Structure 1
Amino acid sequence: MKSWKMQQAKEHMSEVVQRARDDGPQEITMRGRSVAVVISREMYDQLSGKNESLADFIRNSPLFGTEEIEFERDRSPTRDVAL
């Protein structure tokens, strides 16, 4: 990941965005500390799951179709509720 000082990033914003799209995340530092990361829209959509429905998410899970997972039902008695 390429690291940019804040002032450099401001002066070369077009290049920072281009590199984020072409080469991957671009780190921005201020006073020697990492303060931000610029990523491409494609990577953001991938990470946030915005383009994926819940059904797609489940189908893409590494656990999809696994028979080894067992969900046990809670058999404890329910509580009384005064209405």
Structure 2
Amino acid sequence: MQTWPVQDAKARFSEFLETCLAEGPQMVTRRGAEAAVLVPVDEWRRLKASARPSLKQLLLLDEARTGMLVPARGAARRRPPTAAR
């Protein structure tokens, strides 16, 4: 993966884009620190399709999500009471 300073990526964007399409993802740095990656759209779609949902996305789903978390009423096993000492 080639690294581009943000100034070069901005000044030579067409070359930056062509390199991405020909060679794959390209890293952009800002003041020497990694800032972003330009990825071809096919790879982006593949990565997005294979990504698992985050906890936030799971919690915000419309479907009932507590069914698997709470045992059915009466199905929970209880310990027998112990004699007081």
Q: TM-score range by the shorter chain?
A: 0.5 to 0.7
Query: What secondary structure does 1:29 align onto?
Result: strand
Give the alignment's Cα RMSD to 1 decimal: 2.4
Aligned to 1:48: 48
Larger Rg: 2
1:78 partner amino acid: R
Deviation at 1:17, TM superposition (A): 1.1
- Give 5+ residue unaligned stretches, structure 2: 51-68, 75-85
Q: What is the 5 A alignment of 1:1-83? A: 1-49=1-49, 76-78=71-73
TM-score normalised over the length of structure 1: 0.59
1:20 partner amino acid: C
How many angstroms apart in 1 are the aligned matches of 2:11 and 2:73?
Answer: 63
Task: Using the aligned pairs only, state the percent identity.
Answer: 29
1:43 partner amino acid: E
TM-score normalised over the length of structure 2: 0.58
Deviation at 1:77, TM superposition (A): 4.3
- Give 5+ residue unaligned stretches, structure 1: 51-73
Deviation at 1:49, TM superposition (A): 1.2
Aligned residues: 56
Query: What secondary structure does 1:49 align onto?
Result: helix
How many angstroms apart in 2 are the aligned matches of 1:17 and 1:23?
Answer: 10
